[in-house]
Structure 1
Amino acid sequence: MSTPTRTPRPATASGTAAPGPGPDTAAPAVSGPRRGGRTALLGLAALLVLLALSVVHISQGTAPVSLHTLWRTIVTLGSDREGSDQAGAVLVASRLPRLCAGLLVGCALGAAGAALQSVSRNVLASPDTLAVNAGAYLAVVAFAAFGVSLPALPAGGTAFLGGLIAAAIVLGLSRAGSGAIRLVLAGSALTLAFSGLSQMLLLLRSQETTGLFAWGNGSLAQSGMSGVARLAPVAALVLIALVVLGRRLDILALGDDGAAVVGVNPRVTRAVAVVLAVLLSAVAVTVAGPIGFVGLCAPAVVRLLGGWAPGLLRHRVFVPASAIAGVLVLLGADVLMRALFGAQSGAAVPTGIVTSVFGAVVLVFLAHRSRDAGDTGNSTAFAKLRGRRAYVVTLVVASVALIAAVIAATLLGDATLRLGDVGYWLSGRSGQFVTYLLDTRVPRVAAALLAGAALAVAGTVVQAVSRNPLAEPAILGVVGGAGVGAVVTITAVPLASFWFVNGAALAGAGAAAVLVFGLAARHGLEQNRLVLIGIGVSTGTSALVSLLITLTDPFNSTKALTWMSGSTYGRSFPEIVPVLVVLALALPLLLFRRRELDLIGLDPDTPRLLGIRLGTTRLLLLTLAVLLTASSVAAVGVIGFVGLVAPHAARALVGQRHSRVLPVSALLGALLVVVADLIGRAVIAPAQIPVGLVTAVIGAPYFMWLLWRSRREA
């Protein structure tokens, strides 16, 4: 009697075995033919929905198109009668290319997301969370900024290289299978850095990059079929290659050792799958720009349906099913957008904004359902204890450096001053030009100093509470919420006072914090779930801000875009009072609660044994972090990486005790933002680079080094 062979179960993207049709499937199992019937039924239903969506999609627009016109145009494609009437010309020149772009991009992103989730064993992996889209977009913008116009295939190759570099950095530094939290944090931070570089190029080379901001949010609008026609064969070949690779991906789910036993090289399989997925992402970015979160949503939908039809979870079915789901998500978002905003406005709104909102909801849903992974292995306790002498020396050096930076920022800029000019200004005896210059420059320096200190202190608290040195205030969604409140006010009330904008930003930050804490409180504010929900809310708010900027007139959108890039321009002393007040109240309170910060940063058990109520203490500390972040964002806009870099550098210098980390972190954060503001004002004077973009460029190399250093501890 022969021994029955055991069929490997196909893996879900999280690396766990999904139920399959093999003999080891738990009872009561559905019979194989019935499973196959369910899969076929779902496939037929998906095709019918796709057909209906395509008809609705192609009928939307400023000019009505009947089904008869549509059929006649399709029949006459390629003939002399093609587009002979106005409706046919509209179909051929605009609507059919947009539909074909949706089909191509949806397939590419859905399949790419499925492959990336499988090789990383992480349900949150996608071309967005791995920074593939951001890297590809940066590469395309870099060429456009310097006047290099590339045809479709070379542009796709450029996007491929940018995306491949980004994926290699994130996967290499976060380690496959190391958990959702580390991968998403790594991808989010790298995306922030690449986005900062892209925005800097857009601002510095505005004439050469006209129209790339809307395209940067993902737009299906096409001028003809040439780009789609040239890249569609590439996507088809790559998709076929992924399907052929499906058997190896199934075996890879057994683990590296199990795969090696049956002759599958895990490293080669992962490398090939990642390259193919990045190729698909590059095709999508080249055709439509970086459309967000289709690669996250599509495999998630297929995985949910896999509970009813387990055959969907085998990779030779999972990859094409995710491709079809990607098309449904993308076309559905495009149809919904034009139905909500109308044909005229819908044509101007990038489709990627709507998919990003959908993706944010899915990300929050997955984070809310997930089990907390516990300690990420990156506790704030990894820093060695330092002596008091090291603390005093660091405090003195940081203070002297900050004073020197403040003096340099006061004297340097589009016009250079001397210390004597400052003395005359303080005594009220300076000339009109010097008075005007210092009346505008000194408040900017003060705003940078206070905002940097507030963000650094907030980052210290967030990293301690989440026990993750890769976390920063932006991941709580507070920055995004403040951005929504401020941009709504700027666009709706262009003449609104600073205090009105400040109040709206604080209200938006508070609403985002309530949403994040409310969703995470059900599980006791567990660290990883809190961070993932915060990232989801932050993604959704960023999409809403982009939507508001796109729908408003150019003047207000420029103001909003500059504010979202972080800027100290035009600040006055009364406008920085809220930051000063919050910082003056929060810092002493945090120093008073330094023992709780130290203990919470160790592990989840020690605080409970010592009588600390984790949920209440975390909520109090995070509320202080929210207030610090919101007041800073309301004063100077969105500034990234300060809350990540300054606390980590402080721990490396003075150890883990928060009685020492908090003041040193505040000094380093203030120093970083003051120097970044000086660079932004002086390097291309009289033009200026927003301080938030400069901090992103400065913080990115430090973040990569930080990831590499902590890789063993992940």
Structure 2
Amino acid sequence: MTLTLPSPRRVTAREHTAPTAQHALVLLGALTLVAGLGAIHLTQGNAAHLTFDVLVASRIPRLLAAILVGLALGAAGTTMQALARNPLASPDTLAVNAGAKLGLTVTAACGLHLGLWFDTATAFFGGLAAAGLVLMLAGRTGSPVRLVLAGSALTLGLMAIASALILVASEETQGLFAWGAGTLSQPGLDAVIQLAPLILLTLTGLIVRGDLLDLLQLGDDTARALGVHIGRTRIAFTIAAVMLAACAVTIAGPVGFLGLCSPPIARWIARRLRYPIRMPWQLSLAALTGALLLLGADVLLRAVLGAQAAVEIPSGVVTTLMGGLALLILGRSMRSGTVGDSPAAIAGRGWPSRHPVVAIVAALAALLVTATLALLPGELPLLLGDVANWLQAQASSRITWILDARFARVVVSLAAGAALALAGALVQAVTRNPLADPGLLGVSGGAGVGALMVITSTGTGSLILSFGALTGATVSAALLFLLAARSGWDPTRLVLAGLGLNAASGALTTFLIVSTDPWNKTRAVTWLGGSSYGAQLDRAVPVLVALGAATFIAVMLHRRLDLIQLDAVTPAVVGAKPKHTRAVVLVVAVVLTAAATSAIGVISFVGLAAPHASRMLLGGRHRVHLPLTAILGALLVVFADAVARTVLSPIQLPVGIVCALVGLPFFAWLLHRMRVSS
């Protein structure tokens, strides 16, 4: 596979002799912009509201936090990209921010308030462990997209654990939701004053020794021949980059994608000015660019929404939107590539059964048993005899009320799981992308944004909620497939475009939640994590209708799907009408995703895990593969919902959290199994 992304170019002899006056001029210009934007940041708003106390207690700490966090993340992102030789590396894509956030959430949930330096150390070790896991999953020679996928999957899992802790220890972790999106609001000057020396000292060390990163760009053998100790150098720079990211998370929370956006912008500025792309200067310029971006995001929030709203809305919302745009741009700049084997090839490495009917019947039996057992546990445990009496209308009124509620939850979970799994299988087939999943590609996120607009404005009626989710999913899918069609349905570009849309959906989701009233906020957060709590049977009606229509279409098109998943040439040669089939199937997948999301919230990994499990059991023939996929998806979500409402009873976890924790190991195993070359 040939994969080309924007990356730092080699340093020429002429650039090594570039005059230092040019260096100073560009950096002085960037510093001047930071100072000017800082002045705007301080003086924005109404003179009547800008008192001395407000200036000292709020504006100055917020300004210093923006500058320090921007400097730290800009330099951290540049260092990580240089070390990984990967322009997609950053504290977000390597899950450093997610690991740091989880570490701080754990300490908060445990009531460990031991001071700022303890929090910084916790964030550092959490981020370092997460980065190590991502690099292990992606492999040193893994493609840039594989690294982003590994980081995105691990981020989902770590965020799921953090969300569970926030729900379980709601009092101890109060206020962590807005902080988790990256907020510059500061209780005072303590954090920035204490961490400023560490950030500036680490940044200075990176700049002074940046020449070693230049040598690493030449390749390990060349760098070793020039006297660089590869192992020690990589470890030292990794520790420095993670330390900067940990300090940033401690001050402002995980500010999204600032470390991804700053380095390419700095490189673009340098190229436009014919500025030498050497690491010491690139680090300096990227750090200042990060400060400019974060200051600009905060100034923009205050200018558009007003001072009060800007305090409540995390600045990370704006930087995450920028990160989504950056992923879209990077995806378009790629010339060619694939993310791995086709679904058909992966199916060939499984253990396909010679008796598909037996496998499907066995899966149905397992689903029936699981659904029945899911009716028993809860705050009031029941027995099978209670279920038998309920089925015969002979149970007491209390038992009847409990089983009616649990039965509705089981039906909604079953329908939503089947819909998400079927949607994932259809998308994987027509895009020939084994990692395609409505959750990872942003379709579920778009449906979530549409449904949240309904929840935060009108209510949660099933029909209007379904309409909102369908609208959001349609808009997100239209953008995704438009970008994919323009790139010839290149699997790698599709993944990057989907991850960019997913980031943008996450930013809009955070904006909607933090800007609504507390009552709607609680409902939105509960629903967003994927929840069947309080579900009525009418929630399942749109999903069942979508499943019925999808089943009919799948029966009609299963032979075409078998051909399309093979390659780009065969379907057209035999008259399978690949464009028409692809359009119809993608519309069906969008409808399935929207219906499932409106019923149970945003759930990830179901559309990835169930299709692959089915292929390994029955192979890639869609006549038997799609029914088993739907059954396995239903089984997974029913099981996850039962675990979510019983494992910490009476506390009920969102089912999406459990699915993420179950799906993450499967995703990691799948990445390990695939043979990805760059």
* TM-score with structure 2 setting the length: 0.94
Structure 1 counterpart SS, 2:185:
coil
Question: Counterpart in 2 of 1:56?
Answer: 40
CA shift, 1:379, in A, is 4.7
1:71 aligns to what?
none
1:238 aligned to 2:202?
Answer: yes
The 1:14–1:653 alpha-carbon spacing in structure 2 relative to 1, beyond 3 Å, is same
Distance 1:655 1:439, change over 3 A: same
Give per-residue Cα distances to partners, 1:240-286, cap 9 Å, x unaligned: 23223422222222233333343435444433332221111101001
**Equivalent residue for 1:397, pick from 354, 362, 377:** 362
Distance 1:92 1:579, change over 3 A: same
Q: Is the 8 A contact 2:421 2:606 kept in 1?
A: yes
Deviates more, 1:430-439 or 1:534-543: 430-439
- Are 1:286 and 2:250 counterparts? yes
Give the letter for the 1:53 counterpart: L
DSSP-derived class of the 2:354 partner: helix
Is the deviation greater in 475-484 or in 647-656?
647-656
Aligned to 2:586: 622
Does residue 1:18 correspond to 2:9, yes or no?
yes
Q: Which runs of 5+ in 2 are unaligned?
A: none
- Cα displacement string for residues 307-357 of structure 1 (whole angstroms, at most 9, x for unaligned residues): 223435211111111100000000000111111111111111111111111
Q: 1:477 aligns with which of 417, 421, 442?
A: 442
1:215-364 matched pairs, under 5 angstroms = 215-364=179-328
- Shift in Å at residue 129 of structure 1? 1.4
Distance in 1 of aligned mates of 2:583 and 2:131: 35
Partner residue of 1:424? Answer: 389
Change (3 A) 1:519 1:389: closer
Q: How many residues align?
A: 675
Residue 407 of structure 1 pairs with residue 391 of structure 2: no
Q: Is the 8 A contact 1:16 1:253 kept in 2?
A: no
SS at 2:87 equivalent: coil
Contact 2:439 2:603 in 1 (8 A): no
Structure 2 residue 401 is matched with structure 1 residue 436: yes
The alpha carbon displacement at 1:646 in A equals: 1.5
| 2:7 matches 1:42 | no
- After superposition, residues 628-667 of structure 1 pair within 5 angstroms as 628-667=592-631
Instruction: Answer yes or no: is 1:678 the counterpart of 2:662.
Output: no
* 8 A Cα contact 1:379 1:469, kept in partner: yes
8 Å contact kept, 2:440–2:604: no
Kindly indicate whether the alpha-carbon contact (under 8 Å) linking 1:650 and 1:665 is maintained by their aligned counterparts in 2.
yes
Q: Distance in 1 between matches of 2:429 and 2:223?
A: 39
Q: Which moved more, 1:615-624 or 1:128-137?
A: 615-624
Question: Relative to 1, partners in 2 of residues 1:137 and 1:312: Cα closer, same or farther, differing over 3 Å?
Answer: farther
Partner residue of 1:373? Answer: 337
- What is the DSSP-based 3-state SS (H/G/I as helix, E as strand, rest coil) of the residue aligned with 1:411? coil
Q: State the distance in 2 between where 1:652 and 1:713 align.
A: 22
Q: CA deviation at 1:397?
A: 3.0
Give the C-alpha shift of residue 155 in structure 1.
0.7
Q: Distance in 2 between matches of 1:13 and 1:601?
A: 25
**Most deviating of 193-202 and 410-419:** 410-419
Q: Which residue of 2 aligns with 1:83?
A: none
d(CA) in 1 for partners of 2:495, 2:662: 24
Kept in 1, the 8 Å contact 2:5–2:330? The answer is no
Question: TM-score scaled by structure 1?
Answer: 0.89
Alignment of 1:84-163 (within 5 A): 87-163=51-127
How far apart in 2 are the matches of 1:151 and 1:370? Answer: 45
Counterpart AA for 1:431: S
Q: In 1, distance between residues paired with 2:49 and 2:399? A: 65
Contact 1:333/1:351, CA 8 A, preserved across alignment: yes
- Alignment equivalent of 2:453, drawn from 485, 488, 494: 488
Q: What is the percent sequence identity of the aligned residues?
A: 46
Residue 605 of structure 2 contacts residue 660 of structure 2 at CA under 8 Å; is this kept in 1?
A: yes
> Is contact 2:70-2:293 (8 Å) kept?
yes
C-alpha displacement of 1:37: 5.8
Q: CA deviation at 1:514?
A: 1.2
Structure 1 CA distance for aligned equivalents of residues 517 and 77 of structure 2: 35
- 2 CA distance for matches of 1:374 and 1:612? 23
- Give the Cα separation in 1 of the matches to 2:352 and 2:128: 44
Residue in 2 aligned with 1:517?
Answer: 481
d(CA) in 2 for partners of 1:606, 1:109: 47
C-alpha separation between the residues in 1 aligned to 2:235 and 2:429?
35
Distance change in 2, residues 1:713/1:320 (3 Å): closer
Please, what is the CA RMSD of the aligned residues?
Answer: 2.5
1:595, distance to aligned residue in structure 2 (A)? 3.7
CA distance in 2, matches of 1:36, 1:617: 60
